Structures are given as C-alpha cells and as structure tokens.
A and B are shown apart, each in its own frame.
Chain A
Amino acid sequence: KAGVTQTPRYLIKTRGQQVTLSCSPISGHRSVSWYQQTPGQGLQFLFEYFSETQRNKGNFPGRFSGRQFSNSRSEMNVSTLELGDSALYLCASTSSTGPTLYGYTFGSGTRLTVV
C-alpha cells in the first residue's frame, strides 16, 4: 500500500511569505501529526489531528497552523515566514487512536528554505 505522501518535496520561499504543505496519510490512518526537524532544535512536535480535530499542539507560535480534511489528508500552513522556519517538515500517520500503539509511518518530508 502507498506510504505517507508529502508535497512538495522542496520549497523555497521569501521571508514574510506564507506556505502550505500537504500530507496524504496511509489509507485508513485517521491520525496525522506534523514535526519540524532542524539541526539546532532536532525533531519538535507541531500538532496532531485526528478525525479533523486538533488533539495536541506543540509549543510553536500561532503562525503555524494546520487542518485535516474528511479524507484524513492534512495541510499545515506557516504565515509570515521567518528565516528560522527553514527546516524539514515531517508528516506522520498512524491508525491508532492513541497512544501510539502502532507507531508512526513517516513521510519523506518537505524541505522548506526561507531566504
């Protein structure tokens, strides 16, 4: 079966712009989580969506937002981009309702570069 698909793979944006990243989970997975990965801060949890509802949110500013659609696909949006938002953004899905009984399946990520 298809894995977790993230689009686009690479993105270059200018400071102050906004960006939308997309994630299609494995079929049947209702939980989608987003993580930011940077060399300095490592992997940090952004938020989790389950059945179109945000269940958990990490410690990120309000410029970071997300949503989940009825088909479980998810998007995350970053407004007013800053240089520090340059990172690999990883999406992960799981079929478990919690707590992570089956482990995540991760996508390959979207590499965002802010210039």
Chain B
Amino acid sequence: AQSVTQPDIHITVSEGASLELRCNYSYGATPYLFWYVQSPGQGLQLLLKYFSGDTLVQGIKGFEAEFKRSQSSFNLRKPSVHWSDAAEYFCAVGAPNAGNMLTFGGGTRLMVKP
C-alpha cells in the first residue's frame, strides 16, 4: 500500500521569499503524484500532477514540483510567495490499480509574513 509523509506540519515564510514544501512517498512502482491546496473552509484545489515523463512539472499559481525517484520525493516549490498563498497544502499519491483513490499526506500549513 502507498503512503505519503509531509514532514513539516507548519511553515512560515516572508512574502516574496522562496518556498519549498516537502513530500515523501512510499510506493513500489512509479506513482501518480499530486499537490493540492486547501483554503480555510474550502475544498481542495489541484495545483499540479505527475504521471510520467519530465520530472519537473509546472502547475497553477506559479508552483512547480520535482519528482525524484531516488529520494522518493515530490517537493513543491515557488520562487516568490504571495500573501494569498497562505493555506494548507497536501501531497497525494495514486496508483494504477487503485482507480481514482488517493492517499494524502498529513498536510503542511503555510503562513506568510508581511
């Protein structure tokens, strides 16, 4: 069975600073990887996804993520954070034999200092 770990529960960055959110997964084959963002009281919004091919994927809102098989990681990055990026971020993994089921990490809450 697959699993996802997001080591950082909370992260605080200053507006304009760069951001990296960590995600480590456990899965026997090449997984399907996702990053979602959740604002308070809302559902989740897909930021980006990786299935195969280029290991650096671009998403919405200026986010990107890099798949590193050797490290079982799929870290999310943004070069310059905006105050509106404050939210909770979830990494998730899917598997080819699991339909549309996703396993989510515990989430990282991002706070942005002015």
Q: State the A residues within 8 Å of B (CB).
A: 4, 31, 33, 35, 42-45, 48, 50, 55-56, 58, 90, 92, 94, 96, 98-101, 103-109
Contacts and interface: CB of A to CB of B under 8 A. Distances in A.
B53 interface: no
A104 B104 contact: no
Contacts of B95: 99
A42 B9 CA distance: 12
A4 B43 contact: yes
Contacts of B34: 100, 103
Nearest to A107: B43
Q: Which 10 A-B pairs have the closest CB atoms?
A: A106-B43, A43-B104, A103-B46, A106-B44, A98-B99, A100-B94, A55-B99, A56-B101, A100-B100, A108-B43
A76 to B, nearest CB: 15
Interface string B29-66: 00010101000011111100101000000000000000
A55 B4 CA distance: 22
B98 to A, nearest CB: 6
A99 B100 contact: yes
A92 B114 CA distance: 34
A98 B100 contact: yes
Interface of B: 32, 34, 36, 41-46, 49, 51, 90, 92, 94-107
B90 A99 contact: no
A44 B32 CA distance: 17
A2 B91 CA distance: 26
A99 B42 contact: no
A38 B41 CA distance: 13
A33 B99 CA distance: 10
Contacts of A99: 32, 94-100
A72 B60 CA distance: 28
26 contacts: A4-B43, A33-B102, A42-B104, A42-B106, A45-B101, A48-B101, A50-B99, A56-B100, A90-B43, A90-B44, A92-B43, A94-B100, A98-B98, A98-B99, A99-B32, A99-B95, A99-B98, A99-B99, A100-B100, A103-B34, A103-B49, A104-B44, A106-B43, A106-B44, A109-B42, A109-B43
